[in-house]
Amino acid sequence: MEAARDFDFTDRHFDNFRKMVSEHTGIALSDAKRELVYGRLTRRLRKLSLDNFDDYTNYILENSEDELSNFINAVTTNLTSFFREDHHFRYLADKLIPELLHRNRASRRIRVWSAGCSTGEEPYSIAITLRESIPDIDNWDVRILATDIDTNVISKGENGIYDEERITGLSSGRIKQWFFKGSNKQAGKVRVKPELQQMITFKQLNLMTEWPMKGLFDILFCRNVVIYFDKPTQKVLFERFTGQLTEDAHMFIGHSETLYNVSERFQLLGKTIYRRIR
């Protein structure tokens, strides 16, 4: 297998890239990610017409502002789908939104943060759930902030255009109500409707840097994000999340994630569903 490689990829190369990822994103790449890193970065070498990974390391250092973003985009994994982990959206519709409509009836304001939003399916699923659950939503101030470290996926989410196969799991009623189907050159594509796009602001954000948001959020979706961080980093991150949430805010995390031995600032309500403790 090693002999078949187009480029020599040693332990030193992998460790250097792991260190760079950790320093700039907080993500801890395990040994199991070695082949993924090799495959993703090989594409960068070919695109830049570089001969080896030493040259690529130097290229990042010499062109840090531009290539560091490409490097991070290449090695961070983005996996998502519409209404992934559907029980979260059922809880949002059946339990949380009615509670928020009562609690925020004076301000008529709801804020949601989709942290690690990837290509946008999660925030659009949230937007659909909110619109389906709040009959007079246009008389409310409802906004969703969607952030990710990867500028490429942020751009895709902002465009709101997807392959038609991405929505095959949705009901025909939802598809008709919330998506336009493409024709001619756009055949096989769908685009989310403007009333969903208008609810969402997509922004690039590195969770390890300063956060520019001033207001507090009622709901936080941070699913399958912290699994890439080590425990000390997770503890710091969840403490920071606490400071960005309203007193009774709810948080949704990924199916393989837990706050056990990470944070005592949240109360477990159901499977990977938490409420901030006052």
Residues 252-269 have pLDDT tens digits of 998 878 898 999 999 999
How far is the C-alpha of 149 from the C-alpha of 205, rounded, in Å?
A: 5
Question: Would the pTM count as exceeding 0.85?
Answer: no
In the chain, the domains with their CATH numbers are: 2-75 (1.10.155.10), 86-276 (3.40.50.150)
Alpha-carbon distances of 182 from 21, 28, 90, 162, 190, rounded to whole Å: 38, 40, 29, 10, 6
Q: Which of 34, 40, 166, 174 is catalytic?
A: 40
What secondary structure does DSSP assign to 265-276, as a single string? Answer: SEEEEETTEEEE
The catalytically annotated residue of 18, 84, 131, 148 is 148
Q: Is 54 annotated in the active site?
A: no
pLDDT (0 to 100) of residue 115: 97
Helix axes of 34-48 and 11-25: crossing angle, nearest 10 degrees:
90
Q: In what order do the strands lie in the sheet with 161-163?
A: 161-163, 189-192, 179-181
Please list the ranges in the chain whose pLDDT falls under 70.
1-4, 64-65, 77-79
CB 252 within 8 A of CB 272: yes
Element (H, E) at 12: helix 11-25
Q: At 228, is the secondary structure helix, strand, or coil?
A: helix
Predicted local confidence at residue 2, as pLDDT: 45
Q: Identify the pLDDT of residue 78.
A: 64
Considering only CA atoms, which of 3, 6, 28 is closest in space to residue 17?
28
Say if residue 113 is exposed, middle or buried (CB neighbours under 10 Å; 0-12, 13-18, 19+): buried
- Catalytic (active site) residue 86: no
